[in-house]
Amino acid sequence: MKKAFTMLELVFVIVVVGILAAIIIPNTRTNPVREGAVALLSHIRYAQHLAMVDDKFDAANPLWFRDRWQIRFSGSSYSIQSGNTFAVDPQNRAANLENIDLAEQYSSSVTFGGACATDEIISFDHLGRPILGESNTTAEAYVSGQLMTTDCNITLSDGSQNAVIQIRPETGYMSILP
């Protein structure tokens, strides 16, 4: 009695696997709005991470806080920067995270709601707390009302699908809402 597969059995298994793959693969659709939300969420977290690890405090410079890491939106594009320095893309060290266009890459428009409805700039302090508004022009490290006190909702939309990124106050915890 032989203990091996015959060529016919091997061909049969390959055909069955091929049929299953042909049925399953077309059902794995991509969602460009969700992909854009995941990419944007990852970049916001990266800006928060840079703010927590890159110590900007300088006792000799009374305006040290103007160089906080921030994500700055302009329409459907955004940049991550500290002062005039743009963040280096961690996936491509030769590129900066500057003018990333969500409309071009993911066919998504961006709208703001909640705490960041009027501000398109989100900065982070050394504890990772989100701060709203322009920090490059303020005269104090913490201006009254700049620390985020309610949720910030950033909505990406392509007209038929939406994805909402929520940033929580105080902790800066971020998630994509279902």
Task: Please write the tens of the pLDDT for every residue from 107-163.
Answer: 889 999 999 888 889 999 888 999 887 766 666 767 667 889 999 999 999 989 999
**Dihedral angle computed from the Cα positions of residues 100, 146, 174 and 164, in that order, rounded to the nearest 10 degrees:** -70
Is 80 exceeded by the pLDDT of residue 1? Answer: no
Instruction: Measure the CA–CA gap between 83 and 64, rounded to whole angstroms.
Output: 10
Mean pLDDT across 28-49? 91
- In order of their start, the domains of the chain are 32-177 (3.55.40.10)
pLDDT tens-digit profile of 90-101?
888 888 888 889
Find all residues with CB under 8 Å of 161, minimum gap 6, and list them: 31, 33, 34
Specify the pLDDT at position 138.
Answer: 66
Q: pLDDT: is 25 or 45 the higher one?
A: 45
Residue pair 104/177 in contact (Cβ under 8 Å)? The answer is no
The pair of three-digit structure tokens given for residue 176, joined into one six-digit string:
């994509």
Predicted model pTM: 0.79
Q: Is 134 exposed, middle or buried (0-12, 13-18, 19+ CB in 10 A)?
A: middle
Higher pLDDT pick, 143 / 41: 41
Across the chain, what does the average pLDDT equal? Answer: 87
pLDDT of amino acid 29: 75
